[in-house]
Amino acid sequence: MPADSEGKEERRENPVKEVIPLKGWRKALADLMLRSHSEYAGVTQMREINFSEMMNLRQGLIVDLEGKYGVRVSYTHLLMKATAQALLEHPILNSSIVGDEIRILEDINIAMAVSLDDGGLLAPVIRQANRISLVELAQRANKLAEQIRARRFSLNDLKGGTFTVSNAGMYGTDFVTVLITPPQSAALGVGRVVSKPVVKGNQIGIGSMMGLSLTYDHRVLTGATAARFFSTLQDLIENPAKLDLGV
């Protein structure tokens, strides 16, 4: 590259390769995430959870439910069902701040993050996730994901979420922190499943470990309250016989 008389490299403005307009879903998502970052007192707790028993449960459910109902249950479906059950025990996480009030909501509506081919991200809502069976949850979730990716959804499909589950494990991520979607108070980030040595009793074995991240609004709940919810969720995941699947 040519140099000037003082031996410095000539500087030029970096040419723009492509312009992506910040409009539509990009603008809406940008505004929402900026609001979350600027208005929320977001804090994240992380845990590595043994997912082995949940994987065993899913293997049995795949054979049973796919044959009976034609639905294939995923890890995300099971995690949403476990999350809904844990929220029943810790309802403060299923809340919104309105003015000077924390309003605990009756319906548990799980928003499920769905990635798009163009890099977009939308979160359709599974309503009353605590009141429906695992089969119905999986059917609704699969249908909504298909509609989102085919751009055949309504704005109502994206409204009313009270808690978000975002699974980044399919992309090889170990842990992911999730910005809370206003007006929700918490969100769960899901990492991949990795085989690791684990200690059980006095024995060392191999466990299928999953990284989970719970991000919550510190204005709404304390770290101890969040940890109690996380412990309940961990117990349900590691002991899935306690799950109320409704099937």
pLDDT digits (tens, 9 = 90+) for 224-236: 999 999 999 999 9
Domain 25-242 sits in CATH 3.30.559.10: yes
Dihedral of alpha carbons 43, 210, 105, 113, sign? positive
Catalytic hit among 37, 77, 90, 218: 218
Contact 176, 213 (CB under 8 A): yes
Quick one: pLDDT at residue 200? 83
pLDDT digits (tens, 9 = 90+) for 81-136: 999 999 999 999 999 999 999 999 999 999 999 988 777 788 999 999 999 999 99
pTM over 0.85: yes
* Pairing of β 186-200 and β 163-167: parallel
Residue among 101, 75, 107 nearest 88 (CA): 107
CA 42 → CA 36, 54, 180, 224, distances in Å? 8, 29, 8, 15
The per-residue DSSP string of the chain comes to --B-TTSPBPP-PPPP-------THHHHHHHHHHHHHHH--EEEEEEEEE-HHHHHHHHHHHHHHHHHHS----HHHHHHHHHHHHHHH-GGGSEEEETTEEEE-SS--EEE-EE-TTS-EE--EETTTTTS-HHHHHHHHHHHHHHHHTT---GGGGS--SEEEEE-GGGT-S-------TT-SEEEEEEEEEEEEEEETTEEEEEEEEEEEEEEETTT--HHHHHHHHHHHHHHHH-GGG-----
Average confidence (pLDDT) over 170-196: 94
Q: Could you confirm whether 218 is annotated as catalytic?
A: yes
Between 28 and 182, residue with greater pLDDT: 182
Residue among 164, 160, 213 nearest 186 (CA): 164
* Measured distance CA(169)–CA(178) in Å, rounded: 13
Specify whether the backbone of 99 is left (phi greater than 0), alpha (psi in -120 to 50) or beta: left
pLDDT digits (tens, 9 = 90+) for 148-166: 998 898 888 999 999 999 9
Quick one: pLDDT at residue 7? 56
